[in-house]
Amino acid sequence: MMTTPKPSPEQVARIVDWLRALADETRVRLLLQLKEGEANVGTLVAEIGVGQATVSKHLGILKRAGIVEVRRQGALAFYSIRDPKVFEVCRVVCDGLKQQAIAEQSALLADSAW
């Protein structure tokens, strides 16, 4: 059986930074909005419903993590998803949550005396 080599401490740190970048409600909402297509900060502010400084801060975190990229056009900056595989990670998390909810519901129904 082939084993996958262990990641180096530097690789582990990068993995943690990447996952940490996803671990925020505003950033997940930004990603879901950017899934629809590239957008500038003004559009994201209007769609997400948080302030410009907050959107810019969170986009910076996502950009540093390599999750989004920016394209400049004159004075405007347009953000987009750098690698759509980020949504595969989200799908795995959602599938896990769904399975957990099903198991909890089954346990609850099995324990019910009614």
Per DSSP, what are the bridge partners of residue 77?
72
Averaged over 79-106, what is the pLDDT?
86
Is the pTM of the predicted complex or chain greater than 0.85?
no
Q: Provide the residue ranges of all domains of the chain, joining segments of one domain with +.
A: 13-82, 84-114
- The pLDDT, as a whole number, for residue 107 is 77
Separation between Cα atoms, residue 89 and residue 95, nearest integer Å: 10
| CATH domain 13-82 topology | Arc Repressor Mutant, subunit A (1.10.10)
Give pLDDT tens digits for 53-87: 999 999 999 999 999 999 999 999 999 999 899 99
